[in-house]
Amino acid sequence: MRKLLLGSTAIVAIAGLTTAALADVSISATSEFSMSSQESTIAASNGTYNAVDSEVHFKFSTQTDNGLTVGYTTSLLSDADAGGSTAATNIDESYLTISGGFGKLVLGGVDSVGGTFAVTGDDLVAEESKAGVGTSATISTNADLAIGINDNIKVSYYMPAIGGFNAGVSFEDMGAAATANTQTDITTFGASYSMDLGGIALTATAAKALQETAVGTSDNEANNTAIKMVRGPLSIIASNGTYVSGAVENRSSSSVGISYKIDDAMTVAAFSNNNTDTADGAEAYDVSGAELQYVIAAGLTAVINYEDFSFIQGSGGAAAADSGSNTKFTLKAAF
């Protein structure tokens, strides 16, 4: 990714300031345009559609006299429909980092440690669409953490790596509006361990999120475990996920992904996700797909993705059963 680096001297000169040196600034952007064609047993879901998703990222960093690294990052969604935004410009993430020998502290609106330590098979696929699940369906679409991964304000701590081991914890305080009877604070834990086994880079990961609920009821709980193996151009991930919310939700998911880098320009990948919810009868969602990524030039990549999906309606939602396929072409640019 090409970045525009602004030195502190230039910033001071432009601003006409005479104060001490300011932080280094990195500005980058991404833009994606996609065209999809979907075949579905639901007539209203058939057809083609386009989508765009663009972001601008600003990163600031500086070193303190006592050796700490202080950073600030903010990302702007520049499309009205990106991430559910209704405005032409919307803050996606905004957070402060402080790191040193003690580890790293992250404060603000960004994913919990689950975004780092929760791993799924479809992480090896760039542009999965997860088509075929109605908006009222109560089922997971992959093995990721069902709670705790969001851009709400939270506090996260990552310990310094010890050998191949790393871990972290996040706490999301829902504030004064969450009274003792309706508390919904979220605590997320994560850890990973990496090793080399005869030329195979092996990483095991685990993540857990606990969400408080009304007094006298069981907390909501989400879990993710995964193993990733990398040998040269070949990467494989196998993962499992669960989510339990009292007697309302009891989801179980498994996900497998594989990718192979043919050369510097071309990568092929495939994945399969299987998801069930026993609390909602026989509700199930299965999706599998294959993908080709081709680097046209530095910073410009084309992705073709094909998926087959099947959704079985359960007893807990109004979404209709559906099955079919989705073909998607995406052009990705990075600046």
Task: State the pLDDT at residue 212.
Answer: 84
Task: State the pLDDT at residue 18.
Answer: 36
Taking alpha carbons only, the member of 326, 263, 265, 317 closest to residue 134 is 317
Task: State the pLDDT at residue 315.
Answer: 74
Three-state SS for 171-238 is EECCCCCCCCCCCCCEEEEEEEEEEEECCEEEEEEEEEEEECCCCCCCCEEEEEEEEEEEECCEEEEE
b/e per residue 37-47 (b: at least 16 CB within 10 A): ebebebeebee
Distance CA 115, CA 66 (A): 30
Distance CA 179, CA 184 (A): 9
Three-state SS for the chain is CCCEEECHHHHHHHHCCCCCCCCEEEEEEEEEEEEEEEEECCHHHCEEEEEEEEEEEEEEEEECCCCCEEEEEEEEECCCCHHHCCCCCEEEEEEEEEEECCEEEEEEECCCCHHHHCCCHHHHCCCCCCCCCCCCCCCCCCCCCCCCCCCCEEEEEECCCECCEEEEEEEECCCCCCCCCCCCCEEEEEEEEEEEECCEEEEEEEEEEEECCCCCCCCEEEEEEEEEEEECCEEEEEEEEEEEECCCEEEEEEEEEEEEECCCCEEEEEEEEEEEEHHHCCEEEEEEEEEEEEEEECCEEEEEEEEEEEEECCCCCCCCCEEEEEEEEEEEEEC
Taking alpha carbons only, the member of 243, 269, 289, 240 closest to residue 130 is 289
161, two tokens: 């790596």
Residues 6 or more apart in contact with residue 224 via CB below 8 angstroms: 114, 117, 118, 119, 120, 143, 144, 145, 205, 206, 207, 208, 239, 240, 241
User: Are 277 and 250 contacting, i.e. CB atoms less than 8 angstroms apart?
Assistant: yes
What pTM value is reported for the model? Answer: 0.84
Share of the chain above pLDDT 90, in %: 59
b/e per residue 274-291 (b: at least 16 CB within 10 A): bbbbebbeebbbbbbbeb
Task: State the pLDDT at residue 141.
Answer: 86
Counting as low any pLDDT under 70, the low residues of the chain are 1-22, 79-89, 135-136, 175-183, 214-217, 316-318
Domains of the chain in start order, with CATH, are 4-334 (2.40.160.10)
